[in-house]
Structure 1
Amino acid sequence: MTREQERDELHRTIWQIANDLRGSVDGWDFKSYVLGILFYRFISENLTSHINKAEWETGNKTFDYAKISDDEAELGREDTVKEKGFYILPSALFQNVQKNAEGNPDLNVELRNIFKEIEASAKGTDSEPDLAGLFDDVDVNSNKLGGTVEQRNKQLVKILNAIAGLKLGNYQDNNIDAFGDAYEYLMTMYASNAGKSGGEFFTPQEVSELLAEITVVGKKQVNKVYDPACGSGSLLLKFAKVLGKENVRQGFYGQEVNITTYNLCRINMFLHDINFEKFNITHGDTLTDPMHWDDEPFDAIVSNPPYSIKWEGDANPLLINDPRFAPAGVLAPKSKADLAFTMHMLSWLATSGTAAIVEFPGVLYRGGAEQKIRKYLIDNNYVDAVIQLPPDLFFGTTIATCIIVLKKSKADNATLFIDASAEFVRGGNKNKITDDQRKKILNAFIERKDIDHFAMLVPNQLIAENDYNIAVSSYIEQENTEEETNIKELNTRIAQIVKKQNELRTAIDAIVNDLEN
């Protein structure tokens, strides 16, 4: 079986498990249990492998951390927490709890205590903010799992057994990315089936990859990457795939306002083997309470911020003097925060960096304050490219979004427009950009030259004359795929059809006349 076939088989198994287990629990809510227990298995195996390898290197080849006593394990707690950021006693490891789960009437209490102990193991250390509250959404006492303790434990046993049965490899085999792949697949399927309630926190993988590729063109490594509305972290983690996580030297930074999704993002980092010292994910409102003042500027910024949400805007007199927004001389409308996110990212972008932002299409042409912000961006030559994406790519919406690419150091005084609205195939209930289509878009971005009906490099002066409208359709004419009609041939065919109709009517009249007589 090929690697691709193995992955497809894993995906089918995961989704079947998720559907079998879900029962009466809403899919988007139930994901917290499946993903949380998947994470629990991951960190148990990760920790066990880490400790075992250290012992094996000293010559103790038969050592197995999962089989020693808790008292023996306590001796290595301090050093291990410094290295891994957390600690789990052998009796609390996933494999040991799962093995005895079926006959354990106190399973829910035991799991709750284990999750609290894992979080508490980081108290007072550098990893504390990365572990705090990580299991909050895995509520093992929730009525969603059942009305009685017995029913809840029965459901928990099913989840533990199902997650234990997944063929994810282990860390002795260096099969690290299997957990991350399983997470990404589950998030994709849950978002697809949850509609807006789930999809607004998840960006399709092919779009995530395109954004990451755009921001690192010509670079083999960057210092820091950032997403101010990071959701479950899929955008940030594409840098690990595109560059390799070792080539993001100072780490992955993000902020998320939704507490549940914030927890998912941190779990996602661990599942992709990004250790606590390499990520800094915070919780809060980026626009009014940004958490990374001491970490900016960033070499690469990617984001899919929420579309046209409300924010304080000019109702907060402090914001117009905020160094992120002040340069434009105007704030984004209170009812549409899109360009507030854009200005925030521009402010925190390194001089040699690139930002790629998924935007609601209205920001390209709406008037008022948004037009004034576009004027600031164009007049200062910060807009590098505008890419029109196909419709119906994102979960929870069918609109055709776009990508705005920002740079502070450009070689020309022009903006590249790319019309990728036709670059998709239908996959299930959504459109999807294929690998070849993604590469076509990326190549057009890199080449930065005119391509009939697809790409055009437009001088900023021309955009100014067009009232700072940066909608792609204003500059790229779509190809006319309609066939030319020969009027003479059409008239001849119509005449032939009319003649044939008359002949048929005469024949039918004759038949009817014979029948009547």
Structure 2
Amino acid sequence: MALTAEKEALIWKTLNDTRGKIEPAEYKNYIFGVMFYKFLSEKAQEWLSLVLNGDTWINIWQQNSAKAAEFMQSKLGYVIQPGDMFSDWQEAINEDKFNIMMVSDALAHFDQGVRPDAREDFSGIFADMDLTSNRLGNNTQTRTATMMDWINLMDKIELDETADVLGDLYEYLIGMFAANSGAKAGEFYTPHQVSDVMARILTTGRENMESYSLYDPTMGSGSLLLTTASYLKNAGVRGSIKYYGQEWITTTFNLARMNLMMHGVEYNDIKLHNADTLNNDWPDGVVDGVDTPRMFDAVMANPPYSQKWDNKNREDDPRFKAGVAPKSKADFAFLLHCLYHLKQDGKMAIVLPHGVLFRGAAEARIRKNLLENHNISAVIGLPEKIFTNTGIPTIIMILEKNRAADDVLFIDASKGFEKQKNNNKLRPKDIDLIVETYLKRKDVDKYAHVATLDEIKENDYNLNIPRYVDTFEPEPEIDLVEVANELKKVEQQLGDNNAKLLKMINELTAKDDGTKKDLEQFREIMRGLNEDGK
């Protein structure tokens, strides 16, 4: 269910009406929190309707709360007590009995009722919802009114596991936040059309695998993981797809957990971690001095571009055997981390700035090692302004770990897009062309070129796309003879028009000498103009 223009307008109006002192980019912490709680609550109620056999949840709870909690935990991994359901909040609002403490108590109860083996997925997931903050209002009454507005708003948005509701809402809100506050609100979200290109390339030919493992070491909101999984036959089949991801920012880590579960991914198929990927190799890696990394069928990433990092004493890190990225630009550090965790027959896709294609020094050495090891399969140039948080053009680089061929496919997709208000967007036909060109792996005039390693060596291992794909469109040649003939025609026409005008003036009859004198002066002016024209 994509958001309609009507719902978008309703959402933005509600947020503005309840703004108070809160920063626009912080809205998502509350809005997504309320939305996710509604999702968990409705999921619990749906399950209860199937298993209670005419009894009520409150009756079961009153008989034996411990056993009732264990009963729900065994299926869902969490417990929502009677009176804490989202529908209970709505009912209290309708009866004018609602207080924000109902939400605070429900969230506390939820944290306490998470099943032990599900704590990694649920624990602290609502920690960003500070319900005592003065930014929601100066007192309990105003904070209660704010929360009521948000609950009523979420009541108008239907949740559907088969549609990217959270993704649609998130993409809409970050675009609005960025436009209205200047904040880098979009830096944790990969637009769906970019995710789509990466996902289709990663999964084509492997859609029917019975089991599949995905890893995103800079997962943001988890959109890349979800989009990639959506192209697999067993998407939605419990236990078939394992989702691994790491995210440094706790708020975004919480958002990713919500996002995956709201798309129907079971909690025991999710393995997400809140840490710095470059400083904390995960999952596994070197354990007790032994290099035992976990490998994945597909690795995808959209890391922060040219970020500073601590590159000291990294020479012995097995992830960076191809070289250590400079401290001022961690782009290749992220790339090498991804490649390290890729299976021998796996495939990875990563979004990077163009600088990785041609910068020198340490990055040039890494690039050379990757090319001579046949790791780089393709370089795809994207249009500028494709991301909410940056206008710079970016690339998608496709890599493999155990590739026999040494050529590299270059695709210049920078000119295929639809221009929107603040950003550019890949259209379905643009996405199809990129993917089809990648799969066919043949030259396309002014769009794609398969370069041999010898050709790349001649360019000193520089991968800048214009060196391989010539998109220059020459200006049409000017026929000087035709231009001269046209000028003669124009001059002739001017002369004819002036002659006609002078003839008309001569035919005028003047009644006095003053008028004749004025006419004679006018004739002289016109003759002068005629001579100048020639």
Q: Output the TM-score relative to the length of structure 1.
A: 0.89
Task: Report deviation, 1:16.
Answer: 1.5
Distance in 2 separating the partners of 1:145 and 1:506: 82
**Would you say the 8 A contact 2:381–2:396 is kept in 1?**
yes
Deviation, structure 1 residue 102: 5.7
Structure 1 position 355, deviation (Å): 0.4
The partner residue of 2:191 within 204, 220, 223 is: 204
- The residue that corresponds to 1:237 in the other structure is 226
- State the partner residue of 2:269: 278
Q: Which residue of 2 aligns with 1:266?
A: 257
Tell me the equivalent position of 2:315: 320
Which position in structure 1 is the counterpart of 2:170? 187
Alignment of 1:142-153 (within 5 A): 142-153=133-144
Structure 2 Cα separation of the partners of residues 506 and 362 of structure 1:
66
Alpha-carbon separation, structure 2, partners of 1:217 and 1:99:
48
- For residues 62-461 of structure 1, the aligned pairs below 5 Å read 62-63=54-55, 65=57, 68=59, 70-72=61-63, 74=65, 75-101=67-93, 107-122=99-114, 125-168=116-159, 175-178=160-163, 181-195=164-178, 196-220=183-207, 221=209, 222-243=211-232, 244-246=234-236, 249-293=240-284, 296-313=294-311, 316-317=312-313, 319-325=314-320, 327-328=321-322, 330-461=323-454
The one-letter code matched in structure 2 to 1:187 is: Y
What CA deviation, in whole Å up to 9, does each residue of 1:294-330 have, x standing for no partner? Answer: 67211101111000010001xx21x1110001x21x3
Aligned to 2:288: none
Shift of 1:163: 1.2
Is 1:12 matched with 2:6? yes
| Per-residue deviation, 1:291 | 2.6
- CA deviations on 1:425-451 (whole Å, 9 max, x unpaired) are 113321111112111100111111111
Q: Is 1:477 aligned with 2:477?
A: no
C-alpha distance 12-233 of structure 1, shift in aligned 2 (>3 A): farther
Partners of 1:351 and 1:409 within 8 A in 2: yes
Q: Distance in 2 between matches of 1:498 and 1:70?
A: 99
Partner of 1:33: 30
Q: Distance in 2 between matches of 1:306 and 1:128?
A: 28
CA distance in 2 between counterparts of 1:508 and 1:401 reads 63
Deviations 1:222-266 (A, max 9, x none): 521011100011111102321152468241111111111111111
The 1:76/1:69 distance shift into structure 2, 3 A limit, reads closer
Are the equivalent residues in 1 in contact too, given 2:248–2:274 (CA < 8 A)? yes
1:171 alignment partner in structure 2: none
Identity of aligned residues (%): 31
Moved more, 392-401 or 81-90: 81-90
Specify the SS of the correspondent of 1:251.
Answer: strand
Deviates more, 1:297-306 or 1:134-143: 134-143
Quick check: 1:70–1:91 contact (8 Å CA) kept in 2? no
C-alpha displacement of 1:104: 6.2
Q: Is the 8 A contact 1:105 1:153 kept in 2?
A: no
Structure 1 pair 35/485, CA: closer, same or farther in 2 (3 Å)?
same
CA contact under 8 A between 2:298 and 2:347: conserved in structure 1?
yes
Distance in 2 between residues matched to 1:126 and 1:514, nearest whole Å:
105
Check 1:118–1:489 CA distance in 2 against 1; reply closer, same or farther (3 A cut): same
Please tell me whether the aligned partners of residues 295 and 342 of structure 2 are also in contact (alpha carbons under 8 angstroms).
Answer: yes
Which entry has the higher C-alpha Rg, 1 or 2? 2
Greater mean deviation of Cα atoms: 410-419 or 291-300: 291-300
- 1:146–1:514 distance in 2 versus 1, CA, 3 Å: farther
Residues 1:488 and 2:481 are matched in the alignment: yes
3-state SS in 2 of match to 1:40: helix
Do 1:305 and 1:338's aligned partners in 2 also have CA atoms closer than 8 Å?
Answer: yes
Per-residue CA deviations over 1:436-493 (Å, capped at 9, x if unaligned) read 2111100111111111111111111221221111121110100516433222222333
Q: Distance in 2 between matches of 1:14 and 1:48?
A: 28
The question of whether the paired residues in 1 share the 8 Å contact of 2:89 and 2:98 is answered with no
Asked if the contact 2:14–2:149 (Cα under 8 Å) also holds between the matched residues in 1, the reply is: no
Could you say if the C-alpha distance between residues 188 and 15 of structure 1 is closer, same or farther in structure 2, counting changes exceeding 3 Å?
farther
Which segments of 5 or more consecutive residues in structure 1 lack a partner in the other structure? 1-5, 169-174
1:275 deviates by: 1.7
1:54–1:126 distance in 2 versus 1, CA, 3 Å = same
Q: C-alpha offsets along residues 354-382 of structure 1, whole Å, 9 cap, x if unaligned?
A: 00000011111011111010001001000
The amino acid that maps onto 2:10 is: Q
Cα offsets for 1:79-120 (capped at 9, x unmatched): 321321111012101101221036667722221121122122
Mean CA deviation greater in 405-414 or 279-288? 405-414
- Contact in 2 for aligned 1:364/1:470 (Cα 8 Å): yes
C-alpha spacing 1:344/1:505, structure 2 compared with 1 (3 Å): farther
SS at 1:428's partner residue?
coil
Displacement of 1:49 after TM fit? 1.2
73-82 vs 221-230, which moves further = 73-82
Q: 1:172 — aligned with what?
A: none
What's the TM-score once normalised by structure 2's chain length? 0.86
Secondary structure (helix, strand or coil) at the match of 1:456 reads strand
| Shift in alpha-carbon separation, 1:192–1:394, aligned structure 2, 3 A | same
Q: Which of 430-439 and 106-115 deviates more?
A: 106-115
Inter-CA distance 461–89: structure 2 relative to 1 (3 Å threshold): same
In 2: Cα distance, 1:416 partner to 1:375 partner: 16
Match in the other structure for 1:3: none
Equivalent residues of 1:202, 1:232 under 8 A apart: yes
Cα pair 1:68 1:90 within 8 Å, conserved: no
Q: Tell me the distance in 2 between the aligned counterparts of 1:70 and 1:498.
A: 99
Count of aligned residue pairs for this structure pair: 491
Residue aligning to 1:463: 456
1:274 deviates by 0.9
| Conserved? CA contact 2:218–2:245, under 8 Å | yes
CA contact (8 A) 2:374 2:404 kept: no
- In structure 2, list runs of 5 or more residues that go unmatched: 286-292, 506-516, 523-534
